[in-house]
Amino acid sequence: MITFYSPGAPGVQLESGTSCAELTAPAVWIDLFQPTTDEEKALEAALGINIPTREEMQEIELSSRLYKEGDSLYMTGIMVTNASSDNPTSSAVTFIVMPNRLVTLRYAEPQPFVSFRSQRQAHPEFYRNGHDVLAGLLDAIIDRVADILESVGGSLDRISLRIFDAEAPDGGSNWDRQPQKGKSGRRRRQRQGDFVDILRRIGCTSDLVSRARESLVSFARVVAYYREMQHENPAAREALVHLKTVAGDLGSLSDHATFMSGKISFLLEATLGMINNEQNGIIKIVSVAAVVFLPPTLVASVYGMNFEVMPELKWVAGYPFALILMVISAVLPYAIFKRKGWL
């Protein structure tokens, strides 16, 4: 689908039977969304440019993402296209800056394009040429990344509360904060399940932050390349002034994303430490049980020997004596461990 945007006019889509050249002439922004081969050929013929393929857009070499052909600049950036689910995704978007218009090529519907179209419709006088449109799109992209990082910050705060809240294992209002006396086993299973969920959430959050950082790095290169190539273009003067602020925002957001990556690493290590503590508690219980039952087992082994000459063998009180001795030998180590604070 191809949509043509002329100054102060709503978008017009290319339909069958419509001349591409007639729609191209007045347009300052041409948006290609999942174009077909015929649409690409029609636009290439009308503009005299080469439209990169989807495979070419995915290449990671800097020379394949930022280059110049004739009077046109080809710049490809990575955008986060699905930040609200547990499986965030990214998509490449190519900006073709021509002397009098902007062409965008994409195969996804990122939120910045939706918000920018609304912004353009509300203030059409701000977007008189392709350079103004590019500056507006980059502004919307930066705002979207900032919103994503803000959302990630809130998620990390909730995860941190779930990990370190001592009163409620999950740190949330949905957990039972009443005393768990006599329910330690169920509570431990509950905490183990919660840690598994926390690890999953940390993994999804880390993936989202990584994609946001990748987007910030790619658009920092796009802005730097555009400013370098257009610094003498009078038509891009206003856009260049605005993109100087955008470049500063990209740097600050990159620093913030780096900080969040460090916090994610800390929370991951803390969660693994909590899991290790839970495992140590289980091993501790097993070890105490083994120590408690070892002396009674020794007593039972002694009196289970089949020797004819045993002092207590024909003793009437021998059986109760052995039972009492086993109980004492089990209780005494437990009492000693308790007194020393080992339990």
pLDDT of residue 177: 43
What confidence score (pLDDT) does residue 181 get? 45
* pLDDT confidence of residue 159: 85
Q: Strand 12-13 and strand 2-5: pairing?
A: antiparallel
pLDDT at position 19 is 67
Strands 29-33 and 12-13: unpaired
The domains located in the chain, with CATH, are 283-339 (1.20.58.340)
Q: What is the pLDDT of residue 336?
A: 80
Q: Return the minimum-mean-pLDDT range out of 28-32, 106-110, 167-171, 307-311.
A: 167-171
pLDDT digit string, tens, across residues 78-117: 888 877 657 788 888 999 988 888 889 989 888 888 888 8
- Residue 184 pLDDT > 70, yes or no? no
User: Average of pLDDT values for 109-137?
Assistant: 83
Measured between alpha carbons, how far is residue 15 from residues 1, 3, 10, 12, 27 in Å? 9, 10, 15, 9, 16
CB 300 within 8 A of CB 335: no
pLDDT tens per residue, range 252-295: 998 999 998 898 889 888 888 888 877 777 777 777 778 778 88
Distance CA 26, CA 201 (A): 48
CA atoms within 13 A of residue 52's CA, in its CB half-sphere: 27
Question: What tens digit of pLDDT does each residue of 196-235 get?
Answer: 888 888 888 888 888 889 889 988 998 888 888 888 788 7
pLDDT score for 3 = 86
- Residue 182's region, left for phi above 0, alpha for psi from -120 to 50, else beta, is left
Report which of 105, 115, 103, 112 is spatially closest to residue 33, judged by C-alpha positions: 105
Confidence of residue 190 (pLDDT cuts 50, 70, 90): low
pLDDT digits (tens, 9 = 90+) for 13-60: 777 656 677 677 788 888 888 888 888 888 888 888 888 888 888 887
pLDDT of residue 321: 83
Is pLDDT above 70 for 69? yes
Decide: 198 and 171 in contact? Cβ < 8 Å: no
Mean pLDDT, all residues of the chain = 80
pLDDT band at residue 61 using 50, 70 and 90 as cut-offs:
confident
* pLDDT at position 343: 63
Element (DSSP H or E) covering residue 305: none
pLDDT recorded at residue 174: 42
**133-164 pLDDT tens trace:** 888 889 889 999 998 888 888 888 888 888 88
pLDDT recorded at residue 175: 38
Both ends of the chain: CA-CA distance in Å? 70
Q: Pick from 294, 299, 292, 286: which is nearest to 334 by CA?
A: 292
Compute the average pLDDT of residues 331-343: 76
